[in-house]
């Protein structure tokens, strides 16, 4: 099914099941520990051996000599695989550096060996016996120092890809002439996804066929890259990933656990499982790269922006890509004269890549402080300043409207619900004994582009009237199982308990996968398309004209007839498969999601400790398919945004080129208990240009702008403006 004209009324609009706050259908299994994760699949390989990955001890250079003899001779060891005996390997399309290093080393903790043994402890002990002599080379590890050598990145036509630079009008002239000007630099640090479940894989070979149980957001990308890396035909490789303990972008691509488990299993002649040990993860896998961002804004005394410029510098390994931190600045505020530019420096740190809302999340961390600073200079309320510079068209291409844009309503609704009118000037509200706590409120706009991806599904109907949905879509904790069941139940006129959903297996039709907040809307649209085909098949077999057919209460009715779906399906059942493909509606209309984040903080006047007291998000993101799962996504994202504001930073050792705090003791993230009150409001919205479901993404929108709302609240509390994240005590005092 091609989606290339605006959606009209369809069965999903009944909102009998879609749009309801259903509990997650996978919830009981996840909360009782009976949803098996990759590392726990004892049932499929009782004889699995254990692999432990060894990471490189230098950031750049070569392995001069590697001695594995002692490891091979250690108790229980079945195999040791290094680049010397792994055979010729290809490279995944999505991987910047090779997943198995040697003799060249591309980054610290790049995998250089896997030790396979009967038991985990034996593999770990033997791994410590591998002796490596390195010939290190000097590398570039500091973004600030590499900045002046940075170059414009090449144009990226991948998902969310964008030109490296845009210019409209005469930015320099307009900025120079502006009555009120801001020219500031902001920094965001390297960040780690720090998901709960580490990257983990169980690999099983049967002859030349490889099956991996793994933890991966994008099954089809992973399958393709695993086949490419091992030099196997795609149809010899199967990836299975039905339950995933978080990804946040860190599991979009094939990582070392998969390759090392596959190589280890081949060498040992046994199934092998590998989990990346936590202290390896931060340097072995990808991370959100640090940025330096210069923002210039010029406005008239009336508060109208006349010039807006945003430049962002980030670094990556050779052949890598930039953090697209200027993305939102191209679209968020009006202003006649504009420029944005990205520059990419070569750094020899581990691979930078997507983390929840890549681009907008760090971009808004900077832009939305800058907007707050401009409002302050103009002596305007920051919400008024944003409303004044709102736009209903793409400010770079004024003939291109937004499909829906209710940023203003998000901000106004939030202001009213949050009690914004109680906000005082900076440093004036104190509470607690001796006025110890300085209280402040902050706001930021949320913006994230709405991407769509083709997505296929198969739907089967059996003689009991049970509907089974099959697609390789993943559920990374987001609620995919549930919204796909809701979509099928609504389309086929059955209860939610009559639907079975099977996900996360490359043997199933290829879905959009979980990435870029495109997963929910795109994969549910794929299920919609398959259900349209199944409704036709059912009606045909029932002898009812599909245009008159009504699907309700487990029956199909029409032409004076009424048959149960099970009856129509019969003993052999009925099945249909289709794929949603998106035309160019997202080119004619700018499709984005919007929100407003509000935050109240208390800052200890003596210690600088920041406590987040209350948060509110108001989101406009098309139809909300399930308000409960969507709310959980936004609350989780808000919590993650607080981490970005106050805690999260991978600290670079600039002598040796690695992230020092490479575990969850050193890399701090907030828990929900750190924030007593969080609330989410969804504006009642449908977007007929986004998909047949009129839905959009929301899982990444939730983090966009949060950190700036916290930073702005801290400024409102204390009068101190911090432009370098995270905002730790030392910067406040």
Chain residues that interact with ligand MOS, rule: CB under 6 A: 217, 247-249, 252, 354-356, 358, 515-516
How far from chain centre, in Å, is Cα 687?
Answer: 22
Between 217 and 506, name the residue whose CB sits nearer to ligand MOS: 217
Q: How far apart are CA 38 and CA 297, in angstroms?
A: 49
Which tokens is 450 given?
Answer: 């709405």
Phi, psi of 191 (to 5 degrees): -130, 155
Torsion of CA 371, 377, 378, 383, to 10 degrees: 40
Residue with the shortest CB distance to ligand MOS? 249
Q: How would you class 409 by CB atoms within 10 Å of its CB: exposed for 0-12, middle for 13-18, buried for 19 or more? A: middle
Q: How far apart are CA 297 and CA 724, in angstroms?
A: 19
CA atoms within 13 A on the CB side of 269: 1
Q: How far apart are CA 544 and CA 493, in angstroms?
A: 16
Answer whether 180's CB lies under 8 Å from 371's CB: no
CB of 514 to ligand MOS, least distance (A): 6
Handedness of CA 245, 248, 254, 255 (dihedral sign): negative
Reference 50, options 203, 190, 177; nearest CA is 203
Q: How far apart are CA 291 and CA 693, in angstroms?
A: 36
Between 286 and 312, name the residue whose CB sits nearer to ligand MOS: 286
CB of 105 to ligand MOS, least distance (A): 26
Answer whether 247's CB lies under 8 Å from 176's CB: no
Over its C-alpha atoms, the chain yields an Rg (Å, rounded) of 27
Q: How far apart are CA 257 and CA 274, in angstroms?
A: 6
Q: How would you class 129 by CB atoms within 10 Å of its CB: exposed for 0-12, middle for 13-18, buried for 19 or more? A: middle
* DSSP label of 40: G
Between 352 and 382, name the residue whose CB sits nearer to ligand MOS: 352
Between 191 and 217, name the residue whose CB sits nearer to ligand MOS: 217
The DSSP element (H or E) to which 173 belongs, if any, is helix 171-177
CB of 539 to ligand MOS, least distance (A): 38
CB of 592 to ligand MOS, least distance (A): 16
Instruction: Select which of 311, 577, 600, 700 is catalytic.
Output: 700
CB of 248 to ligand MOS, least distance (A): 6
CB of 162 to ligand MOS, least distance (A): 15
List of residues 6+ apart from 542 with CB closer than 8 A: 549, 556, 558, 561, 563, 568
Between 349 and 354, name the residue whose CB sits nearer to ligand MOS: 354
CB of 252 to ligand MOS, least distance (A): 5
Q: How far apart are CA 456 and CA 175, in angstroms?
A: 49
Between 408 and 516, name the residue whose CB sits nearer to ligand MOS: 516
DSSP string for 552-573: ETTEEEETTEEEEHHHHHTTT-
Between 355 and 489, name the residue whose CB sits nearer to ligand MOS: 355
Q: Is 206 a catalytic residue?
A: no
CB of 281 to ligand MOS, least distance (A): 16
Answer whether 347's CB lies under 8 Å from 362's CB: no
CB of 126 to ligand MOS, least distance (A): 35
Q: Which residue spans within 529-604 are E strands per DSSP?
A: 550-552, 555-558, 561-564, 574-582, 592-604
- What residues pair up with 439 in beta bridges, in sequence order? 602
Between 449 and 691, name the residue whose CB sits nearer to ligand MOS: 449
Q: How far apart are CA 383 and CA 359, in angstroms?
A: 23
Between 249 and 477, name the residue whose CB sits nearer to ligand MOS: 249
The residue behind tokens 């920041």 is 610
The residue behind tokens 């979509």 is 487
Q: How far apart are CA 215 and CA 213, in angstroms?
A: 7
Between 254 and 371, name the residue whose CB sits nearer to ligand MOS: 254
CB of 249 to ligand MOS, least distance (A): 3
Phi-psi region of 424 (alpha: psi -120 to 50; beta: other; left: phi over 0): beta
* DSSP label of 463: T
CB of 553 to ligand MOS, least distance (A): 39
CA angle 369/371/375 to nearest 5° reads 115
Between 248 and 418, name the residue whose CB sits nearer to ligand MOS: 248
- Other Cβ atoms within 10 Å of 183 Cβ, number: 12
Between 320 and 516, name the residue whose CB sits nearer to ligand MOS: 516
Q: How far apart are CA 615 and CA 71, in angstroms?
A: 53
Reference 15, options 526, 550, 693; nearest CA is 693
CB of 474 to ligand MOS, least distance (A): 10
Name the residues annotated as catalytic.
700
């Amino acid at each position: 099914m091609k989606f290339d004209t605006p959606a009209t009324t369809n069965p999903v609009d009944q909102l009998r099941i879609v749009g309801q706050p259903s509990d997650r259908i996978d919830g009981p299994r996840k909360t009782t520990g009976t949803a098996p994760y990759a590392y726990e699949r004892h049932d499929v390989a009782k004889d699995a051996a254990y692999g432990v990955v060894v990471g490189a001890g230098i950031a750049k250079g070569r392995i001069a000599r590697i001695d594995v003899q002692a490891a091979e001779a250690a108790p229980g060891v079945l195999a040791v695989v290094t680049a010397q005996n792994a055979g010729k390997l290809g490279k995944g399309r999505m991987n910047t550096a090779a997943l198995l290093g040697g003799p060249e080393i591309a980054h610290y903790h790049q995998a250089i060996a896997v030790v396979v043994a009967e038991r985990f402890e034996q593999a770990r002990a033997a791994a410590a016996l591998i002796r490596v002599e390195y010939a290190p080379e000097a590398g570039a590890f500091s973004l600030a120092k590499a900045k002046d050598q940075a170059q414009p990145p090449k144009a990226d036509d991948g998902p969310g890809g964008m030109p490296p630079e845009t210019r409209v009008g005469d930015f320099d002239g307009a900025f120079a002439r502006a009555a009120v000007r801001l020219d500031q630099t902001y920094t965001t640090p390297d960040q780690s996804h720090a998901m709960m479940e580490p990257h983990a894989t169980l690999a099983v070979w049967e002859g030349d066929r490889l099956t991996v149980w793994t933890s991966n957001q994008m099954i089809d990308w992973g399958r393709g890259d695993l086949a490419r890396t091992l030099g196997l035909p795609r149809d010899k490789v199967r990836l299975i990933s039905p339950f995933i303990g978080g990804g946040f972008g860190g599991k979009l691509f094939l990582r070392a656990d998969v390759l090392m488990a596959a190589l280890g299993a081949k060498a040992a002649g046994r199934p092998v499982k590998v989990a990346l040990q936590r202290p390896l993860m931060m340097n072995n896998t990808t991370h959100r790269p640090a940025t330096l961002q210069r923002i210039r804004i010029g406005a008239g005394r009336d508060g109208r922006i006349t010039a807006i410029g945003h430049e962002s510098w980030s670094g990556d390994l050779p052949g890598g890509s930039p953090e697209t931190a200027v993305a939102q600045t191209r679209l968020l505020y009006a202003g006649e004269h504009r420029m944005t530019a990205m520059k990419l420096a070569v750094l020899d740190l581990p691979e930078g890549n997507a983390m929840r809302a890549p681009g907008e999340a760090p971009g808004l961390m900077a832009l939305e402080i800058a907007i707050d600073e401009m409002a302050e200079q103009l002596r305007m309320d920051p919400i008024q300043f944003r409303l004044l510079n709102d736009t209903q068209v793409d400010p770079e291409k004024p003939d291109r409207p937004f499909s829906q844009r209710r940023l203003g309503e998000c901000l106004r609704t939030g202001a009213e619900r949050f009690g914004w009118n109680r906000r005082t000037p900076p440093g004036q509200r104190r509470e607690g004994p001796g006025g110890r706590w300085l209280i402040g409120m902050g706001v930021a706009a949320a913006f994230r582009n709405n991407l769509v991806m083709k997505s296929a599904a198969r739907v089967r109907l059996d003689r009991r009237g049970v509907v089974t949905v099959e697609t390789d879509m993943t559920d990374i904790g987001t609620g995919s199982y549930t919204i796909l069941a809701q979509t099928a139940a609504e389309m086929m006129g059955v209860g939610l308990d009559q639907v079975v959903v099977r996900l996360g297996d490359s043997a199933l039709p290829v879905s959009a996968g979980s990435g870029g907040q495109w997963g929910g809307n795109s994969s549910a649209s794929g299920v919609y398309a398959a259900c349209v085909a199944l409704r036709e098949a059912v009606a045909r077999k029932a002898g009812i004209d599909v245009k008159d057919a009504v699907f309700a209460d487990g029956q199909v009715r029409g032409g004076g007839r009424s048959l149960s779906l099970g009856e129509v399906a019969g003993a052999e059942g009925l099945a249909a498969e289709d794929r949603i493909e998106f035309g160019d509606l997202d080119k004619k209309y700018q499709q984005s999601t919007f929100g407003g984040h509000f935050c109240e903080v208390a800052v200890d006047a003596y210690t600088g400790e920041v406590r987040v007291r209350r948060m509110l998000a108001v989101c406009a993101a098309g139809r909300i398919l399930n308000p409960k799962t969507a709310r959980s996504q936004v609350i989780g994202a808000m919590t993650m945004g607080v981490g970005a504001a106050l805690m999260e930073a991978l600290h670079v050792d600039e002598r040796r080129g690695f992230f020092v705090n490479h575990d969850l003791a050193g890399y701090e993230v907030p828990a929900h208990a750190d924030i007593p009150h969080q609330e989410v409001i969804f504006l009642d919205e449908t977007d007929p240009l986004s998909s047949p479901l009129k839905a959009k993404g929301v899982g990444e929108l939730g983090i966009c702008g949060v950190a700036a709302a916290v930073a702005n609240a801290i400024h409102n509390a204390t009068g101190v403006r911090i432009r370098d994240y995270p905002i730790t005590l030392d910067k406040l005092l």
